[in-house]
Amino acid sequence: MTDSIRLLLADDQSLVRGAVAALLGLEHDLEVVAEVGRGDEVVPAARVHRPHVALLDVEMPGGDGIETTAALRAAVPDCRVLVVTTFGRPGYVRRALDAGASGFVVKDTPARALADAVRRVHAGLRVVDPTLATETLTAGTSPLTARERDVLVAARSGGTASAIARELHLSEGTVRNHLSAAIGKTGAATRAEAVRVALDNGWL
């Protein structure tokens, strides 16, 4: 299969990864050359196997799919990225495309449509699930600054402001200011609610 499109699959759920590999492997022009279960395994595998397209999940250990997209595009720029995820949140779509992804589809996409998305991404086209594309345009960009996002990410574990300050090397007062701004921007009443709203929108 010298003319086949070489694929790398990254998903921490081995059952899902295996199913996708089996379905795409049925296509005459697609060949899965590598499978990994962690974000930090993607770049090393891509350097060895030189895939044309990497299919990345969003939520993985060792670096999420969006961080991994940016790292992969920097390390192996001729490998295009198609994000394939359960989590179809508008903020994820925008962040993934900003990181260099060529496409974003959800895991319940039919096998034939997924194979077609791979071919289109390989051809240099951009592919985004139509429903998500509409939601992304409607939702707009994240209102959070980079620092406010960092503080909310750290707040997910429920730690105190002083614990977050230590983790991010900020003063406690600065952390409280960022939390207050984030709560206001998300329209939340509490820190926990701000985290939930930001997660639901894919801003974290």
Instruction: Determine how many CB atoms are found less than 10 A away from the CB of residue 116.
Output: 14
pLDDT surpasses 50 at 147? yes
- How far lies 2's CA from each of 25, 28, 33, 140, in Å? 15, 11, 12, 42
pLDDT at 133: 65
pLDDT at 1: 44
Token couple for 184: 């206001």
Residue ranges of domains in the chain: 5-139, 146-200
Residue with the bigger pLDDT between 87 and 23: it is 23
CATH level 3 topology of 146-200: Arc Repressor Mutant, subunit A (1.10.10)
Helix, strand, or coil here: 38? coil
Backbone region of residue 202 per phi and psi (left: phi > 0; alpha: psi in -120 to 50; beta: other values): left
Which of 1-5, 47-51, 131-135 comes out lowest in average pLDDT? 131-135
Helix, strand, or coil here: 92? helix
Average pLDDT, the chain: 90
Best CATH choice for the domain 5-139 from the list 3.90.320.10, 3.40.50.2300, 3.40.50.2000, 3.90.1150.10: 3.40.50.2300
pLDDT at 136: 61
Is 92 in contact with 66 (CB distance < 8 Å)? yes
pLDDT category at 40 given cuts 50, 70, 90 is very high
User: What is the mean pLDDT of the segment spanning 149-173?
Assistant: 91
pLDDT at 134: 61
Distance CA 46, CA 107 (A): 22
